[in-house]
């Protein structure tokens, strides 16, 4: 299924998530929720894109399809994308990969993130990680007075393709890392980066300066927020708040939370460069992704000026930009 939330600022862009769900309604709600977040992500980042999301729903308890079965599923999804005539552009997401996008591209041209040699921008994960690192540095500057991560104790919860690369970037900057993942096979990364390895639940409430949630969403809720010891939170996971009121709880505790759709926009920013008439350029992409630091600063400045939470400030900026785009088309 595909959810198109908005095309006010441009075609809706959002990855194709292959995941297990209890039923079709649950999958549909996930697609709708994620498509809305993509609209806000692109709008706050100032991109000429709207928000959409693709979901390939797998039955609960089933393993992802492989071989010819996987190919058939991907081509099925590609037909759905193509029916929308370019109002939705797909990309890789949780459960899908660059080779999957190659398969989808056999049926529709409305696919992004293909290999660089095919004119695409490749795997978006390193760019998402780079953007989150930029957001963490802004958060550190606001809370601790310096953007440096050297000596900062940072917990990265979820060290897959994005979280793992983020951990590497932070280690290069001199951070002391606490790493966690439900997949114990990723423990080797902790050894390589001289990091502490623990369970995800323990990492969430560890005695750290910064918490970086980089797995699935909903991890910040009424139960966990009172237990947090980090003073700043910025991560790659989508929809980190169990509900929007959690943003108020974080503010009440004096914890600076960088809205997820602001911090994790690096992959989308990179794809936006791919879509430009000049064609994809790695150096241009890096400059644009690093500029997420400026976007984070704008959001936090607006929150401070209006006496609101960072989430409220980011939502206001996004709503205003989408409304302006809608007004311009009337």
**Catalytically active residues, by annotation:** 53
Q: Which two tokens stand for residue 115?
A: 């290999």
Burial class (CB in 10 A: 0-12, 13-18, 19+), 252: exposed
Q: Which two tokens stand for residue 245?
A: 């009121």
End-to-end CA distance of the chain: give it in Å, rounded: 30
Rounded Cα–Cα distance for residues 110 and 90 (Å): 7
Rounded Cα–Cα distance for residues 179 and 200 (Å): 8
Rounded Cα–Cα distance for residues 124 and 109 (Å): 18
Rounded Cα–Cα distance for residues 136 and 177 (Å): 13
- Residue 315 makes CB contacts below 8 A (sequence gap 6+) with 40
Rounded Cα–Cα distance for residues 137 and 131 (Å): 10
Rounded Cα–Cα distance for residues 63 and 72 (Å): 15
């Amino acid at each position: 299924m595909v959810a198109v939330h908005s095309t006010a600022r441009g075609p809706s862009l959002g990855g194709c998530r292959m995941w297990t769900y209890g039923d079709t309604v649950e999958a549909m709600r996930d697609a709708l929720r994620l498509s809305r977040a993509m609209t806000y992500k692109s709008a706050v980042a100032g991109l000429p894109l709207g928000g959409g999301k693709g979901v390939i729903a797998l039955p609960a308890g089933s393993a992802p399809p492989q071989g010819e079965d996987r190919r058939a599923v991907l081509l099925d999804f590609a037909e759905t994308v193509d029916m929308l005539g370019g109002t939705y552009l797909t990309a890789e997401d949780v459960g899908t990969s660059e080779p999957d996008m190659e398969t989808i591209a056999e049926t529709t041209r409305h696919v992004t993130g293909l290999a660089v040699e095919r004119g695409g921008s490749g795997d978006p994960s390193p760019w998402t990680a780079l953007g989150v690192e930029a957001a963490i540095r802004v958060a550190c500057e606001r809370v601790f007075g310096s953007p440096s991560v050297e000596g900062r104790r940072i917990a990265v919860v979820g060290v897959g393709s994005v979280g793992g690369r983020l951990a590497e970037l932070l280690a290069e900057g001199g951070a002391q890392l606490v790493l966690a993942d439900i997949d114990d096979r990723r423990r080797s990364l902790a050894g390589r980066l001289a990091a502490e390895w623990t369970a995800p639940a323990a990492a969430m409430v560890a005695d750290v300066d910064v918490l970086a949630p980089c797995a699935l969403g909903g991890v910040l809720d009424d139960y966990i927020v009172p237990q947090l010891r980090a003073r700043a939170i910025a991560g790659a996971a989508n929809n980190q708040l169990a509900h929007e009121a959690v943003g108020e709880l974080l503010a009440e505790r004096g914890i600076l939370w960088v809205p997820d759709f602001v911090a994790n926009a690096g992959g989308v920013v990179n794809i936006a460069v791919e879509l430009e008439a000049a064609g994809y350029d790695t150096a241009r992409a890096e400059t644009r992704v690093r500029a997420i630091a400026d976007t984070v600063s704008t959001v936090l400045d607006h929150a401070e000026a209006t006496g609101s939470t960072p989430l409220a400030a980011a939502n206001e900026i996004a709503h205003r930009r989408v409304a302006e785009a809608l007004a311009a088309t009337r």
